[in-house]
Amino acid sequence: MSTMKTGKKERKIGSSPRRSAPVRRVRAGWARVLALWAVSLLMIGCDGAERNVTPARDGAPAPAERSSDVVLFLGTSLTAGYGLPGEQAYPARIQEKIDSAGLPFRVVNAGVSGETSAGALRRLDWLLRQPFDVLVLETGANDMLRGTHPDSTRANIHAMIRRVREQRPEARVILAGMLALPNLGREYGQRFETIYRDVARQENVTLVPFLLEGVATEPRLNLADGIHPNEAGQRHVARTVWAALEPVLREEAGR
């Protein structure tokens, strides 16, 4: 697979190849919640779509009022705000941070529960009809739950970033990483988790190493299913994403 050269300096957070102590603790913590695997399978259901306790969202961005200054969040139920009102999902909390910082950007949440990376790739062409300046890409969690081969997920993420580059060469991309559940095996976990670091390096995009850093396995930060962040957890996720997004927005606003 060829590597895309953009001429931009690579931007990554925590790019050390060794896992941090918090990440090691998260992996150990996930070993204690393997019983939730059955819950995940029930949520996925026969057709692969997660069942939300709130009305299903179609992930369609609101009609754009202007052709610039848009941050588009493309993701799964983690982005859609599974089980919560839309205003409590982390993209909405990001909007609050943007407003507080006085930055001229508007958030559009295009998260869809149950979507795989293949589904996100199919949906991308329609999303590319909408104006945006920054894309926050969160995908792969449902691939992992299904045991999809990591090479397939990797190829889909590469394809999405390259398609954005082809049609929106000035758009910035932030890639949110995910860890694999430990019961999928060490080999699968290692291959899955390297997807995000490798793609971020090869495509020269900003990386959030683990979207659920500090949230995964923390009961007080998750819904009863133990998988999806609650309101407090979504605020924590917003802080994690903001650490990567804020410098990008300030740079874009200064152009």
Helix (H) or strand (E) holding 207: strand 206-208
From 40, 69, 77, 158, active-site residue: 77
User: Cβ contacts of residue 76 below 8 Å, gap of 6+?
Assistant: 111, 112, 113, 114, 115, 138, 139, 141, 142
The catalytic position among 40, 69, 158, 228 is: 228
Quote the DSSP letter at residue 168. -
Tell the burial category of 39 from Cβ atoms under 10 Å away from its Cβ (0-12, 13-18, 19+). middle
Distance between CA atoms of residues 21 and 229, nearest Å: 21
Judge whether 15 counts as a catalytic residue: no
Identify whether 40 is a catalytic site residue.
no
Work out the burial of residue 3: count CB atoms within 10 Å of its CB; fewer than 13 is exposed, 13-18 middle, 19 or more buried.
exposed
* Residue 228 among the catalytic residues: yes
Task: Extract the runs of DSSP E, i.e. beta strands, from 89-190.
Answer: 106-111, 134-138, 172-176
Active site (catalytic) residues:
77, 225, 228
